[in-house]
A and B are shown apart, each in its own frame.
Chain A
Amino acid sequence: MITEEIIRNTSQNPNICYQCGKCSAGCPIRNYMDDSPNKIIRYIQLGLYEKALNSDTIWLCAGCLTCSTRCPKEFDLAKFMDALREIALKEGIKVKEKNLLKFHKAFLNQIKKHGRAYELGLVREYKLATGDMMSDVDVAPAMFMKGKIGILPHNIKDRKGMKDIFEKTEVKIK
């Protein structure tokens, strides 16, 4: 069941993975994960969905696409992780990491509103949602100087189109 849903949502077959581990080898946040990224695909191949959906790996994945870029089988693992997150939310599985879901939602809200990431909006929404105003504030000036955080959002032209996509596809969280 879940395998079919993943195939439908990601248009790729988890069985093509031959478990070489190159995704895990290159993952910048591998050290913070309990399960290595290749293990998540292995769980799905074996039908151990519970293990995959309850793993913090799917939530810690930053979507940086290093794994997808380097995969010798051209398997888009970042996309795969995204599909798993969606299924986990649908199934009402609790996210173990504190505040992670709030960040996830805040990020998606920026895309919904502006059509692309708006870092300042993301920081504002995330901080309001968590109430944690002070952490990581020290890195803000350096990020401003390097142009990593813009003051105003850069909206896309067709914002209504983006909103329509969200309305059609957004998952209702249990």
Chain B
Amino acid sequence: MKVGVFICHCGENIGRTVDCPKVAEAAGKLPGVVHSVDYKYMCSDPGQNLIKQAIKEKELDAVVVGSCSPHMHEKTFRKAVEGAGINPFLCEIANIREHCSWVHENKDEGTDKSIDLIRYAVEKVKRNEPLTTIRVPITKRAMVIGGGISGIQASLDIANAGYEVVLVEKEPSIGGHMSQLSETFPTLDCSQCILTPRMVEVYQHPKIKLMSFSEVEKVEGFIGNFKVTVRKKARFVDDEKCTGCGDCIQNCPIKKKALSEFDENLTTRTAIYVPFPQAVPNIPVIDSEICTYFKNGKCSMCVKVCGRGAIDFEQKDKLIEEEVGAIIVATGFKLYSIEKKPEDSPIKGYGEYGYGKYKDVIDGLQFERIASASGPTEGEFLRPSDNTVPKKIVFIQCVGSRDEAKGFSYCSKICCMYTAKHAMLYKHKVHDGEAYVFYMDIRAGGKMYEEFVRRAIEEDDVKYIRGRVSKIYEENGKYMVKGEDTIAGVPVTIDADMVVLATAMIPQPESKKLAQTIGIPYDSYGFFNEVHPKLRPVESSTGGVFLAGACQSPRDIPESVSMASAAASKALVLFGSDFLEREPIVAKVNENICAGCFYCKKVCPYNAIEIKEIPSKNGKPVRVVAYVNEGLCQGCGTCNATCPSKSVELTGYTDAQIFAEISAI
């Protein structure tokens, strides 16, 4: 084998500490090396041409480049070598910059070490095999988990680009938290008015398969080739037959046994119900916990009134398998509740605010329902305890958020804005009312955000008090809110009729479990982690799984929508090619000597080892051996190190190659 060696000076980077001509000269004397030169910038066009020319003129079979880290320019040089007609995997990099010149001062020692590094790279390259990149086919179909505004946006973007989408939503309807909101900051446009058309678009889109009241149970496979098992929970209503007329709901005798999830427990709902009138799909669900039929089999009023015979008490959960190439996780958030928590919970309740025992101390989402025209009070500001108009409302920001003692040190980001909106909406309807906001800092970074908060203070006369509230207690029918104005340095106690707490945004309670099912990392709170916070903000570290919205950290609507579109575009980039090209550095099993102990299967961090049956001549299975799924294998070499019979080798890094490298030093 004829090997060519090329030593780069990297300007002064290598040249200052390493005598490059001397290294080239020494390399020329190594066994197998027929050509050896040095050059100022090997990665430049003339430098690359130098390599290409030498390959042709000296008929080289393999190349070693002594230069920077392979992270930097391995691709460059492999491409150059390929251009001259050699298999790119017959080009090796000896890192004489990061591993040598940058960490040494003495030029003689640096030069000697460089020669050592070149020598072992030459020994390795002599044993390299020509390899070809692995091509994995891509299923051009996406799954979106979560049907809030992020999930809706991502689904529509992918579907409008012409690819099929499976949208999985765990609740009976899509819409998420945005469907509960009254108006949205900073423009005060009606949330439902801008959201519901999109929900309908999703439902009617020929490329979107909507699976509501369903949850992801199992995820197998890898980028471009996922197999997802979805549990379609029993609705007890046949979605093929139901027309959504609502007769069953009107006639259901169980009216007060369950609190409405959509109205944040401010109203009750029937046993057979749709979460809200604009629900998509508009198909009811039976709550088997409270339905009389499921208790004693006596009532079947819904069956009697349903003209289509759509009620099916015998319906069971169904497991449905979907094959997709990309997954977008958009499971959103939940609000922290101030209720008392179990002793061992890392999250604490708010005893000083009454642990949720005061009826008129509510959270932000409950206030949204009260303010909403479709809410329990039809948009009139009435307090829950006695349906009177509160004349004095106190809003408290950072409840749970930025509070390490309660278990969260992060800022929930959206509360400053929605509290200003709440105070504003209240002042617009109750002109003689007083609104107070206790805040720590106002974080209004965003287009027209600061102006919006200033408008609440300057035009609507909302009184902002800087300080955290220490206690809320009841006295003579008022809620006494005890705080300190830290700017004036005076204690403040306000006798409020109602208190609204801007509680922290926290991940969905099942988020950690879902992350484990899919195989994506999450932080200590349960928010999903991106690969790189700046440059790869919507990708999880698992290939083909993307993130959008508040499942990643607290976000508002514009940000969630932007990220959803970004995640969709990442999926579309994947769908842009028919095959996925991967480096062929994967494990290979020698089936002749594999004993089938499957230690490798136990240690593989990527679940890439499968069980393969070896049949005899008559087709009956004789024994089992390990088989590496090239799509999943990341080439970490753990199986290689574990295998007791040495029957797994890592392509490109075989034991023979590594031992040759070591002996050369």
CB of B467 within 8 A of CB of A25, answer: yes
* Given the contacts A20-B440, A21-B484, A36-B486, A74 and B467 also touching, CB distance less than 8 Å: no
Chain A residues 120 to 158 lying within 8 A of chain B, measured CB to CB, are: none
Inter-chain CA distance A30–B470, complex, in Å, is: 12
* Given the contacts A25-B484, A70-B352, A72-B406, A39 and B489 also touching, CB distance less than 8 Å: yes
CB of B491 within 8 A of CB of A30, answer: yes
Inter-chain CA distance A18–B398, complex, in Å, is: 13
Inter-chain CA distance A91–B468, complex, in Å, is: 34
CB of A19 within 8 A of CB of B471, answer: no
* Given the contacts A21-B468, A26-B470, A74 and B486 also touching, CB distance less than 8 Å: no
CB of B466 within 8 A of CB of A21, answer: yes
Interface bracket on A: 20 to 34
CB of B467 within 8 A of CB of A20, answer: yes
Chain A residues lying within 8 Å of B466, measured Cβ to Cβ, are: 21
Inter-chain CA distance A66–B405, complex, in Å, is: 14
Shortest C-beta distance, A118 to chain B (Å), equals 31
- Total B residues in contact with A, Cβ cutoff 8 Å: 22
Instruction: Answer yes or no: A73 CB below 8 A from chain B CBs.
Output: yes
* Given the contacts A24-B491, A39-B489, A72 and B403 also touching, CB distance less than 8 Å: yes
Chain B residues lying within 8 Å of A30, measured Cβ to Cβ, are: 484, 491
Instruction: Answer yes or no: A71 CB below 8 A from chain B CBs.
Output: yes
- Contact among B404, B485, B486 with A72 in the assembled complex (CB-CB below 8 Å): B404
Interface string of A63-80 (1 = CB under 8 A from B): 000100011111000000
**Which residue of A is nearest B492, CB measured?**
A25
Shortest C-beta distance, B367 to chain A (Å), equals 22
Instruction: Answer yes or no: A169 CB below 8 A from chain B CBs.
Output: no
Shortest C-beta distance, B439 to chain A (Å), equals 10
A-B contact count (CB 8 A): 69
Shortest C-beta distance, B193 to chain A (Å), equals 38
**Which residue of B is nearest A36, CB measured?**
B489
- Contact among A31, A70, A74 with B491 in the assembled complex (CB-CB below 8 Å): A31
Chain B residues 42 to 69 lying within 8 A of chain A, measured CB to CB, are: none
Instruction: Answer yes or no: B15 CB below 8 A from chain A CBs.
Output: no
- Contact among A21, A25, A36, A71 with B405 in the assembled complex (CB-CB below 8 Å): A71
Instruction: Answer yes or no: B402 CB below 8 A from chain A CBs.
Output: yes
Inter-chain CA distance A38–B489, complex, in Å, is: 9
Instruction: Answer yes or no: A102 CB below 8 A from chain B CBs.
Output: no
Shortest C-beta distance, A102 to chain B (Å), equals 28
Inter-chain CA distance A82–B43, complex, in Å, is: 66
Inter-chain CA distance A153–B485, complex, in Å, is: 43
CB of B405 within 8 A of CB of A24, answer: no
**Which residue of B is nearest A20, CB measured?**
B468
Inter-chain CA distance A165–B468, complex, in Å, is: 38
CB of A72 within 8 A of CB of B484, answer: no
Chain A residues 16 to 64 lying within 8 A of chain B, measured CB to CB, are: 18-27, 30-31, 35-36, 38-39
* Given the contacts A22-B469, A26-B470, A26-B471, A38 and B486 also touching, CB distance less than 8 Å: yes
Chain A residues lying within 8 Å of B405, measured Cβ to Cβ, are: 70-74
Inter-chain CA distance A27–B466, complex, in Å, is: 17
Shortest C-beta distance, A75 to chain B (Å), equals 9
Pairs A–B under 8 Å by Cβ, sample size 21: A19-B486, A20-B398, A21-B483, A22-B467, A22-B469, A24-B484, A25-B468, A25-B469, A25-B471, A25-B482, A25-B491, A27-B491, A30-B491, A35-B489, A36-B491, A70-B471, A72-B398, A72-B402, A72-B404, A72-B405, A74-B404
Residues of A within 8 A of B (CB): 18-27, 30-31, 35-36, 38-39, 66, 70-74
10 tightest Cβ-Cβ pairs between the two chains A and B: A26-B470, A25-B470, A21-B467, A22-B468, A21-B486, A72-B403, A20-B468, A24-B484, A25-B484, A21-B484
Given contacts A25-B491, A72-B402, 9 further A-B contacts (CB under 8 A): A22-B470, A25-B468, A25-B484, A26-B352, A36-B491, A70-B471, A72-B398, A72-B403, A74-B404
